[in-house]
Amino acid sequence: MSYTALQVDPTVLAEGVNLMWVLVVSFLIFFMHAGFAMLEAGQVRSKNVANQLTKNLLTWSVGVTVFFLIGSGISSLVGGSGFSPAFGAGAANDYVGWLFGAVFAMTAATIVSGAVAGRAKLRAYITYTFLLAAVIYPVVTGITWAGAYISFGGEAFHDFAGGMIVHGMGGIAGLTAAYVLGPRMGRYNEDGSANVIPGHSLTFAVLGTLILAFGWYGFNVGTAATVFVVEDGSLALGAFATVGRVAMTTTIAMACGAMGAGLVAWLKTGKVDTLYVANGLLAGLVGITAIPDTTTWWGAIIVGGLAGGQLPVVFSFIENRMKIDDVCAVFPVHGSAGVLGTLLFPFVATSGTVGSVINAFIAQLIGVAAIAGWTIVATGVVWYALKAAGQARVTPEHEQEGLDVSEHGVETYPEFGGGESVVADGGKVSPSMRTDGGSQDD
């Protein structure tokens, strides 16, 4: 038996494998929207679940279309390449790169919905999503990934997968929007003390957390998106050579984030709060996202542990000192954790990664300040304009009734909507009882 050598053009093979890699990880990142939907739905009251799910669906639908038509072009324009929107792609495969950028953009957009839950008008949120996808987020990517304008003393700003560019930006935007909107009714007493308004399903929140963690491997590992390159006519590993480190640091930081948040919550209250553990896991992931390609194994432990540990502290500060009602803790999870990980870059990097630790830290600090400043100003302008027009927040009556009914005309759990309902165990639910523990008179 004889064999005929298979003639394969290495350039074609490299391109095919690289395109498939980018598509698969893009699909993984898209699936994170299911995680955000479950996480946020679990942390809101039962009367606002459909509203939160609708926001998640429309964030993707509106945002990805706007990013295709406008946002991608704004990013390239700010980055110095001229206005080159995705619909002007010269070849069909160019759309793969657009999709990879779009799933990152939509992650930043959907973070905001958790901060303004329970009181923002749907039209206000969609208006902000439109502007975030068209201008606010693209400017951030334009000055960083597209333009690489930020550096100091020969050290460039480093954000591998969006720890600050995506998550930090989204968390800061959410906090700003929540501040402008004001807290939910009943969140604070007249003396300024805070009331806890528990979400309706811890199960959904934890499920969403684990779905997000699964998708995060696409987010971080997928950013090393060049599997093969062609050198001297032969295939060689491209950026894929960093994937092992990225996978390891992502996993370790995730685990240490959960432990860090649980430990601090236990030290503060004597209890290991389940929701803090879940959000701490996510904070650990956010903390490492800017630097998974350069961080040592011990650095991943430090970054993840600190990102998770700061969560209960920062959330308490925002809740009790700043009096901002950040419903799904988007700033402690995405904002402050993203800032922390980005700033720690030169201190936990592998040997030879940075030339000057001080210069690298200053470059990171400039990048954080630029992204935060732009996000706060742009987000504040949009939400203050909506507020001045009377379009930012639902009426007190609609907020009490629940946004599911007032904004969508549906009840997520109709058997608990009113009257006396029979439950699965044969008992009765009184008219004053709701699934989230509140009463119809709240």
CB 416 within 8 A of CB 436: no
Q: Can you read off the two tokens belonging to residue 378?
A: 């742009």
**What distances in angstroms separate CA 322 from CA 316, 328, 371, 389, one per listed residue?**
9, 16, 21, 25
Which residue has tokens 């946020």?
40
List average pLDDT for each run of 10 residues in the chain, which is 442 residues long: 63 92 96 97 97 97 97 97 89 92 96 96 97 98 97 97 97 98 96 95 98 96 86 85 94 98 97 97 98 97 98 97 97 98 98 96 98 98 98 96 95 72 37 43 48
pTM of the model: 0.91
- The CATH superfamily assigned to 10-399 is Ammonium transporter AmtB like domains (1.10.3430.10)
Give the Cβ contact number of residue 247 at 10 Å.
15
User: Cβ of 439: how many Cβ atoms within 10 Å?
Assistant: 10
Per-residue confidence (pLDDT) for residue 442, from 0 to 100: 47
Rg of the chain (C-alpha set): 23
pLDDT reported for residue 416: 74
Are 13 and 230 in contact by the 8 Å Cβ rule? The answer is: no
Is the CB of residue 330 less than 8 Å from the CB of residue 115? yes
pLDDT value of residue 207: 98
Q: How many CB atoms lie within 10 A of CB 191?
A: 5
What are the DSSP E strand ranges found in 253-367?
Answer: none
Buried b (16+ CB within 10 A) or exposed e, 324-333: bbbbbbbbbb
Q: What is d(CA 210, CA 218) in angstroms, rounded to the nearest whole number?
A: 14
What CA–CA distance (Å, rounded) separates 24 from 40?
A: 25
